[in-house]
Amino acid sequence: MNPFMILQASESVMVKSAEMAEKDPHGAIITLVSVSVVFTALIILYFAYTFIGKLSSGEMKFRWPERKKAETKVKGKSPEGEVAAAIALALDQEMNGEVYAAISMALHQYLNDTVHDNESYIITIKRKR
């Protein structure tokens, strides 16, 4: 047995290699095609992951027409006041105290984002006489 017999390339490799040596002796064609394919593959991945990333981070959103309508409807009702009232009612039934009314008021203000004053950001100093 020839111990190095197993170290030869398969027949198809030898045939293809010989064909390639004839068709593309300088390797320019295989290089151009291969580099283009590698770039194409990774550019496609780039677009795919950019798209998936945008979807995932919320930069890009699918909005179905029906869902959009439903969202508008809810927005139109301005639920914050009702939520606060419902909380107040629930707390009132539970404990019947003024403290809970205050909590519900605070929640109402928080939900409407009216907790903070709007400052003018202009600082004036008056000399005390």
Partner 1 sequence: MNTIFESLQQFLQYTGFASMTYKHAIMIFIGIVFIYLAIKKDWEPLLLIPIGFGMIIGNIPFVPGLNIGIYEEGSVMNILYQGVQTGWYPPLIFLGIGAMTDFSALISQPRLMLIGAAAQIGIFGAYVIALHMGFTPAEAGAIGIIGGADGPTAIFLSSKLAPHQMGAIAVSAYSYMALVPVIQRPIMLLLTTKKERLIRMAPPRQVSQKEKIIFPIVGFILTAMIVPSGMPLLGMLFFGNLLKESGVTKRLAETARGPLIDVVTILIGITVGCSTQADEFLTGDSVKIFLLGLLSFVIATMCGVLFVKFMNLFCKEGRKINPLIGNAGVSAVPDAARVSQNVGREFDKNNHLLMHAMAPNVAGVIGSAVAAGILLSFLG
- Which string of x and - marks every residue 45-84 that binds partner 1 (by CB under 8 A)? xxxxxx-xx--xx---------------------------
What is the DSSP secondary-structure string of the chain? --TTGGGSPPHHHHHHHHHHHHH-TTSHHHHHHHHHHHHHHHHHHHHHHHHHHHHHHTSS----HHHHHHHHHHHHH-THHHHHHHHHHHHHHHH--HHHHHHHHHHHHHHTT-SS-------------
Q: Does 118 bind partner 1 (CB under 8 A)?
A: no
Among 44, 70, 95, 105, binds partner 1 (CB under 8 A): 44
Q: Give whichever of 25 and 65 is closer to partner 1, judged by the CB atom.
A: 25
Q: Give whichever of 44 and 85 is closer to partner 1, judged by the CB atom.
A: 44
Asked if residues 90 and 107 have their Cβ atoms less than 8 Å apart, the reply is: no
Q: Cβ of residue 31: shortest distance to partner 1, in angstroms? A: 4
Q: Give whichever of 52 and 85 is closer to partner 1, judged by the CB atom.
A: 52
Q: Give whichever of 15 and 105 is closer to partner 1, judged by the CB atom.
A: 15
For partner 1, the binding residues (CB under 8 A) are 1, 3-4, 6-10, 12-14, 16-18, 20-21, 24-28, 30-31, 33-35, 37-50, 52-53, 56-57
